[in-house]
Every structure is written in C-alpha cells, then in structure tokens.
Copies of this chain bind each other. A is one copy, B any other.
Amino acid sequence: MQRFGNNGIEGDVPDVVIGRMPIYLRALVLLNSQDIKDVSSHQLGDLLGITPAQIRKDLSYFGRFGKQGKGYSVAHLSSAIREVLGVVPGVQWPVALVGVGSLGLALLGYPNFGREGFRIVEAFDVDPQQIGRTVSGLTIRPIHELNRVLGESQVRIAIVAVPASQAQQVVDQLVSAGVRSVLNYAPYSPRVPDDVRVSNIDPVLSLQAMTYFVKEDLV
C-alpha cells in the first residue's frame, strides 16, 4: 500500500492495482492506434481477461473517468493513467543496468524501453572482458564505480541481471547509491528497506506455476 501524494488524490492504492495500470495503458494505446475513441469496461475486460468490475474498481482509485452509457474516452483515460504513473510522452526515465551477460546484452538492445519511456544510461559489470566495451552506445563500467556514478546521477531505477549469488550484494550497492526501484532478473529475492521496491522477473517461477496446470495431461 502506498500513500498518494502529489496529484490531489488521497488514499491507499494497493500495489496490485498500480501493477495493472500499465496493462490498461497498453490496451488504450492499442485502441487509439485503431482509431477507437471510446471503450467500455466490458470491452476493455474482454481485451485483457480482467473482469469489468475489477477494471471499474481499479480506475476509481484515481478519479471518475467513465461516462454513463458511453464508457471511457480512450484519449482521456490514457493520459490520466500516464499522469498517475509518471509515464508521459517526451520523458525518458534514466535506468541503470547491472550485469551485462547474455541477458543484460539483450536488455541493452531492447527497443521497447526507449519507446515506452525508459533509457538505460549506465551499465556495470564485474567481468574484465565486458568492462570498457561499448554496447548500444554505452560504455560498460566496472562495478566499483557504481556508487560514485549513480550517487551523482538522477537514476532511481535499476535492472539487475547478475547471477543469484551476487544479487543481494548488487542490490545493496544500488540502494546505497540512491536507487528506489529494482527490476530483478536474478533467481533470488533480494531483501530491501521498506522504501525500496523490487519487482522480480523469473521465468522459472512462471514455468513452475504452469506445470500445475498442465501436469494432468502428462500423468
């Protein structure tokens, strides 16, 4: 739960609701590209596999967007969600990347970060083979420079793509350099202070939940 601050809206918004906002935004961007002007919570629900009631409830945390009988204005709702999230056209959030192995390299070249409001501005590694290399216009720095470089920067978001055994140490360094949100690809859940958020991306956890649903086919 998080206290709403700087936009005139008061109240606790559950993290899971915040987590669905980018999904709504993406659907609205798609609808806009198809020249659709208005959308009902039912249509949005069909598109996303989320119940209309849930969508209405989620959006109600941030104000009254729907018009009776007409649904939501695609343009109005998407700009409202962009405001809420801080993902607005023309703003690129600076992001640091730690770990430039094969996954880190794939992330450095990922075109959607730029399109969606993010830019990797610093990359760090421990491997002497990687340090000093220039990839996607970025020179990879040794990890011992992390604290100084990020401490002097406005970077508050980092992506961690290091082995599990190094994840906690790297996250600790990031936090002490001022990072407040970590997207973690290491198969380990790092511990962080209460004011820091970690989002774990781990394909194994997703796959292991899937086997529950498919195992009856194979048993």
Give the size range of A's interface with the partner: 35 or more
* Contact (Cβ within 8 A) B118 A159: no
* Contact (Cβ within 8 A) A203 B117: no
Minimum distance in angstroms from A32 CB to a CB of chain B = 15
Q: How far is the CA of A180 from the CA of B93 in the complex (A)?
A: 37
Flag whether A131 is at the interface (Cβ < 8 A).
no
| A48: chain B residues within 8 A (beta carbon) | 189
Flag whether A19 is at the interface (Cβ < 8 A).
yes
Flag whether A85 is at the interface (Cβ < 8 A).
yes
* Chain A contacts with B in 199-219, Cβ cutoff 8 A: 199, 201, 203-219
* Contact (Cβ within 8 A) B116 A157: no
| A26: chain B residues within 8 A (beta carbon) | 187, 189, 205
Among residues of B, the one whose C-beta sits closest to the C-beta of A181 is B210
| A109: chain B residues within 8 A (beta carbon) | 102
* Contact (Cβ within 8 A) A207 B183: yes
